[in-house]
Amino acid sequence: MLPRPGATQTLARFVAETRREELPDPVRHEAKRALLNFFAVAIAGCRTEPVEIALLSLAEMRRVAVRGSSSNPMKDTEIEDKLRAEAGRWRPGHDIQPLIDAVWALEKSADVSNLAALTVPR
């Protein structure tokens, strides 16, 4: 891919200037799903050795239509369950439901900076 001067600035400006009300409901929903999936993957990665992660990634790439891919998408509940399972392995007994609820209610929140804090056991 050839570099396009100014592409990063153009994208950053679009993101900064776009209001969430301008995004269609399906786009906002997919963003929430991606965020929940991000937390599940991040939590899983923080407890796994880099070599194990690489081996798992290679094994996943060998499959056809990996669960969670665009051709075989996960249901919302499956993504939530994935996050709960990884959080349970990472911090047994930690209630991750407040994070799940906060992600699904993002459009009602003026400040999303507290999302990462919701992963920390109290």
Q: What is the pLDDT of residues 28-60, one digit of tens each?
A: 999 999 989 888 888 776 665 775 676 677 666
Distance, CA of 62 to CA of 16 (rounded, Å): 37
Question: Residue 13 domain-assigned?
Answer: no
In terms of residue numbers, what domain contains 44? 21-119
Question: Residue 5 domain-assigned?
Answer: no
Distance, CA of 80 to CA of 54 (rounded, Å): 24
Question: Residue 4 domain-assigned?
Answer: no
Question: Residue 97 domain-assigned?
Answer: yes
Question: Residue 58 domain-assigned?
Answer: yes
* Burial of 104 from C-beta contacts in 10 A (0-12 / 13-18 / 19+): middle
SS3 assignment, position 34: helix
What single-letter amino acid sits at 38?
F
Question: Residue 40 domain-assigned?
Answer: yes
Number of domains in the chain: 1
Query: What's the whole-model pTM score?
Result: 0.55
Residues of the chain with pLDDT under 50: 64
Question: Residue 91 domain-assigned?
Answer: yes
Question: Residue 107 domain-assigned?
Answer: yes
The encoded tokens of residue 52 equal 């194990």
